[in-house]
Amino acid sequence: MKAPGRWLADRWLTIGSPIALLVLWEWASATGILRAVFFPRPSTIAWHLRDLAADGTLWGHVATTLVRIAWSFSLAAVLGVAIGLAMGLWRRLREGLDPVFAVIYPIPSVLFLPLVSFLVPPGEIALVVTTAVTSFFLIAFTTTHGVTQIDRLVVEAAQHYGARGWRLFAAVLLPGALPFIFTGLRLGLGFALIVVVAVEIVSTSRGLGALLWLSWQVLKVEDMYATFFVIALLGALLSYGLVALRARLLPWVPDVGDR
Amino acid sequence: MALDRISLQVDAGEFLCIVGPSGSGKSTLLRVLAGLHRQSAGEVRIEADRPGTPLTAMVFQEHALLPWRTVRDNVTFGLENRGVARAEREARAREMLAMVGLARFARHYPHQLSGGMKQRVGIARALANDPEVLLMDEPLAALDAQTRTIMQEELLRIWATLGKTVVYVTHSLEEALLLGDRVVLLTARPGRVCQIYSVDLGRPRGLEVRGSPAYGALLETIWSRLREEVLRAIAADRGADSEPAGG
């Protein structure tokens, strides 16, 4: 265990830079360099955030968004890992699907909303499916790469020592791909948050994206920033959560295990 | 074609070393013996009197350990695949790790070990399977000179303890003379058996053997022959470079 002083010495810049930014902002808004109508002081925003939390408005929106992310991410993760593994294992499948994926993947996910609405019941289900699209591709891509990058010599050695079929998959190919699958999941989770907020802005009256947009439209700028802050915090928590989980689950990955 | 008309007989408990110029198919020969590579003609026969144990176990040059398994679980991997009971697997792993001097590192992951230690795990993994023939493909080539010397002595000790039949590929004549009962010299590509030398330097053998006149004489004899093959291999490579389409 490191002493707290040492810990702080290592990270003062990481911790200090956002604080410095907030102080600078506070000062600029207070002195009128920034127009307080559009850039209210962070302290004011904090009070508004407290009010939003206190009267319960915020929690309803947070819950709605989190439930949507949970569904979208689960959908993307299950399909993405399954199809990614299949593509990694079978070259033919990879060759067939690669060009299709390459074309669909760069399309901004929000644009799928109308298309998805024809295919599945519009509303909540369409929103969840739309949100899952980009995450799915990211997870499938990284999973495929995770399988194909496994050292051939290691696979050969495993076969030499009797690993065949299911054993080869479960004891060699899957663990070999796991670090990449985790990277895909982390990226996918981040994108699920980005896309769900975007879809909420264009299509519903609930969720953090809707709250943000609504606040802006009625010029409750402080509430808009407060929502902003909550979304950012949510993204950071989800991302670090997965990183922590990875360190627990994959102790054999050098750069994670040693930190 | 990598190999041609190879006919070799290895006695039970023998330490056989294979040397030859680069590209003479030393590794291919070992891979054929291991069943990793299918030969286009000919057969490999291994006499086995203990059913249930594998015929061969290979120690790979780049150790080829599974990074996601601890040292112990790497050693038990082959046993696990054959359905050996857990208690027996772990007892075997303990025994083998003690033999290679890694008893304290059973719970480590490969990335936490040095190159020499990883190769010890590779050796323990092969031995844990109790094969009829232990195959070693330049197992010490990637190590630094000091570690390699230590490992050579360790190998001699382990071999003396277990009495395994070993087929050992190396590019180092010195290593072959230190370790082997016989040294098989392969020709340049396609590899054929050029000459087989008996290494009558006595046992047990240690590094001090390198000071003996018999050692020097044998080294000189084999080297002069190997040198020809190496030069031929280099000339063949040059020829291939200047006439890529010719034959």
DSSP bridge pairs for B188: none
The amino acid present at A167, given as its one-letter code, is R
Is residue A48 domain-shared with residue A35, that is, in the same domain?
Answer: no
| Residues in chain A where the model's pLDDT stays below 70 | 1-3, 255-259
| ipTM for this prediction | 0.90
- pLDDT tens for A131-167 read 999 999 999 999 999 999 999 999 999 999 999 999 9
pLDDT at A256: 47
Take residue A14 and report the two structure tokens written for it: 């990481």
CB B120 within 8 A of CB B101: yes
User: What is residue A142's predicted lDDT score, i.e. its pLDDT?
Assistant: 96
Question: Is A31 in the same domain as A76?
Answer: no
Task: Indicate whether A76 and A18 sit together in one domain.
Answer: no
Q: Are residues A32 and A48 in the same domain?
A: no
Query: Which domain, by its residues, includes A9?
Result: 1-39
Q: Give dist(CA B1, CA B25) in Å, integer.
A: 9
CB contact under 8 A, B64 and A254: no
- Report the pLDDT value the prediction gives residue A233, as an integer from 0 to 100: 93
What's the rounded Cα separation, in Å, for the pair B52 and B130?
A: 10
Say whether both A175 and A252 belong to one domain.
yes
How many domains would you assign to chain A? 2
- Whether residue A138 sits in one domain with residue A231: yes
Residue B174: pLDDT over 70:
yes
| Same domain assignment for residues A135 and A248 | yes
pLDDT at A2: 55
* Residue B54, phi-psi category: left (phi > 0), alpha (psi -120 to 50), beta (remainder): beta
The shortest CB-CB distance from B62 to any of A153, A158, A171 is to A153
Q: What local confidence, expressed as pLDDT, does residue B51 receive?
A: 82
Interface list for chain B against chain A, based on CB atoms closer than 8 Å: 34-36, 54, 57-58, 60, 62, 64-70, 77-78, 80-82, 109-111, 125, 129
Residue of chain A whose alpha carbon sits nearest to that of B66: A154
- Mean pLDDT in residue range B33-52: 88
pLDDT of residue A88: 96
Q: Are residues A51 and A15 in the same domain?
A: no
Q: Where are the beta strands (DSSP E) in chain B?
A: 15-19, 56-59, 133-137, 165-169, 182-186, 193-198
Residues A169 and A110 in one domain: yes
Pairing of strands B15-19, B165-169: parallel
Q: In b/e form, how buried is each residue of B12-34, taking b as 16+ CB within 10 angstroms?
A: eebbbbbbbbebbbbbbbbbbbb
Across chain B, what does the average pLDDT equal? Answer: 92
* Helix extents (H) in B1-84: 26-34, 71-75, 77-81
Q: For residue A222, what are the contacts with CB-CB under 8 A and spacing of at least 6?
A: A40, A44, A45, A47, A48
Could you report the per-residue pLDDT of B63-99, keeping only the tens digit for each?
999 999 999 999 999 999 999 999 999 999 999 999 9
**C-alpha span between A200 and A215 (Å, rounded):** 13
Select the residue from A155, A160, A180, A253 to test the B interface by mutation, using most B Cβ atoms within 10 A.
A160
Chain A residues in contact with B109 (beta carbon < 8 A):
251-252, 257
Do A105 and A13 have their domain in common? no
pLDDT at A257: 41
Contacts of A158 in chain B (CB under 8 A): 66, 77
CATH number, position A194: 1.10.3720.10
pLDDT the model gives residue B241: 63
> Are residues A104 and A32 both part of a single domain?
no
How far is B155 from B163, CA to CA, in rounded Å? 11
Report the 10 Å Cβ neighbour count for A91.
Answer: 10
Positive or negative, the CA dihedral B140, B145, B148, B149 is: positive
Dihedral of CA atoms A155, A157, A163, A167 in degrees, nearest 10, equals -40
Cβ burial of B228 (10 Å; 0-12, 13-18, 19+) is middle
Do A87 and A28 share a structural domain? no
What is the spatial distance between Cα B16 and Cα B123, in angstroms, rounded to a whole number?
17
Q: Are B110 and B67 in contact (CB under 8 A)?
A: yes
pTM of the full structure: 0.85
Query: Residues near A94 by Cβ (< 8 Å), separated by ≥ 6?
Result: A87, A88, A144, A148
User: Contacts by A238-243 with C-beta closer than 8 Å and gap 24+?
Assistant: A238/A69, A238/A189, A238/A190, A238/A193, A239/A186, A239/A189, A239/A190, A242/A182, A242/A185, A242/A186, A242/A189, A243/A186
**CA-to-CA distance for A123 and A40, rounded, in angstroms?**
35
Partner-chain residue, chosen from B60, B68, B125, that has the shortest CB–CB distance to A175: B68
The pLDDT, as a whole number, for residue B245 is 46
Select from B35, B60, B70 the Cβ nearest to the Cβ of A157.
B60
CB–CB of B66 and A167 under 8 A?
no
Q: Which amino acid is at A143?
A: T
Question: What share of chain B has pLDDT > 90, as a percent?
Answer: 74
